[in-house]
Chains A and B, each alone.
Chain A
Amino acid sequence: MNKGKRLLIIDDDPDFREALRISLESLGYEVSVAGDLDSGYKAIHDFLPDLLILDVMMERLDDGFRMCYDLKHDPSYRNLPVVIVTSVTQATGLKFNPETDGEYLEADAYFQKPVSIEELVATIKRLLKE
């Protein structure tokens, strides 16, 4: 059962946050959202999520990258699974390519928007070892 599993969504697009939240809550997850890095860090401290869903491109072009990097290099949060979601892939012109830049970013999974909830949940289950 998904009850008790806490997910935090950090994305600067309020509609995307909402759509994802509704979908995931309907499947029994407890979901909190944040719209920028600062409130994101605060939410991690206060909400203590089991898994983080993080958008790559926020106010400045590398917010999501930096947060993921910082978390993975912080002993207290190294084991917090991070799922990166993005509108941007190699096909859309930026040099970021999940498959090849993966090692550098050190995130646990990547999804391109729009996200298939079925696939996202399968990944969440896998990362939370449910």
Chain B
Amino acid sequence: MTDVPSPTKVLVIDDEEDIRDACKAVLEKDGLCVFTASDGKGGIEIFGRELPAVVLVDLKIPGMSGLEVVDHIRGVDETVVNVVITGYGTVENAVEAMKKGVYEFLSKPFTPDQLRMVVKGALERFRILHHNKALAEERERIRRNLLSLVSHELRSPIAVVIQYLDVLLGKIVGDLPQPALDILSKCKDRLSEMLELIGKWITLATFDASTLKESFSTVQLGEIVEDVIQCLRPEAESMEVSVSFSPPQESVTVMGSRVALSEVIRNIVSNAIKYNRKGGRVSIDLALDHDTAVMSVKDTGPGIPEEHLQRIFDEFYRVDGRRTSPVKGSGLGLAIVKKLVESHGGKVQVYSKVGEGSNFIVTIPISQKTQ
């Protein structure tokens, strides 16, 4: 929510007309803008429209209860201060209300001065909460910029060294003996791995689900799969792995981030190619199952031992973590996949048996329903 609650607005939700009128009269004298509603539904509607910083709500109102209204409001903006008006204060009510984030109580009957004091305190609290929130957001922004800066500072020199290695490997400044070229080639490989690791780590460290959600648009999964296959063609060919994709009958479209979903599909398909046998196969399936997009990527690789299945989505987890392992990887790819898929409201699962290959299944709802 980018709209900020207004500290000049107060909302009073009470089914008693006298209470509403009295609150309005008292608080308007103090220069506040007062809105009123006689039930939860009306109150929530006005709240959504006006965004007051303080809400006074009677515990007992027709329809939704006062606490349900508080729940809704806190779900929208946690800096809005809720005050509960109660005709009978019981300890249970108080405890439950405090747990739900209610700031203060007003017991009926209350005097105008009591009302003023509580609202004054609530406004003060709003100011503090709002300031904290702004500070927290600023701190997060700084942290992210710092990470970006660090990543840039780490990436730039490595990128330049690789650029120069390409010059040497391309014999552009003169010929070099083959053993020298081999060594330089190994250097380039290791540096490329490092670049990839930095990129992946930064992706994980700066990942923010809500920012990602802001960039959502309609995305055609079939197109992305085809792009990824095209991109990974050289890799597949060098491993002599054939990649097949059976496109869905009707186009499978989801609300999501094209870049994020490309990353997801790329990571999974790339793994399927890397962790495969020479001459092996990768089969990709995409279909619509009611209101869910289902993508499955099967490989003819060695399969994943049962004891690892639970943990392969953990950060830095690798089934074969030896530095001498034939397949290079950071252990971050699947952690990223999991985060990105989950931010689309989806799930990723793996079915695998040693000696029988693996099947990664990603399910994503085609539309994002707000909870």
Contact = CB atoms under 8 A, between A and B. Distances in A.
Interface stretch (A37-45, A67-75, A84-92): A84-92
B159 A113 contact: yes
Contacts of A19: 160, 163-164, 166-167
A115 B206 CA distance: 25
A109 to B, nearest CB: 17
Interface in A79-130: 87-94, 97, 99-100, 113-117
Contacts of A46: none
A31 interface: no
A117 B202 CA distance: 26
Given A88-B155, A91-B203, A113-B155, 20 more contacts: A15-B160, A15-B163, A16-B156, A16-B159, A16-B160, A16-B163, A19-B167, A20-B163, A23-B167, A23-B172, A87-B152, A87-B155, A90-B259, A91-B263, A92-B198, A92-B199, A93-B144, A113-B156, A114-B166, A117-B166
Contacts of B206: 93
B230 interface: no
Contacts of B148: 88, 92-94
Contacts of A88: 148, 151-152, 155
Interface residues on A, range: 20 to 34
B151 A92 contact: yes
Interface of A: 13, 15-16, 19-20, 22-23, 26, 57, 87-94, 97, 99-100, 113-117
B147 interface: yes
B170 interface: yes
B252 interface: no
Contacts of B200: 91
Given A90-B259, A99-B259, A114-B166, A13 B156 contact: yes
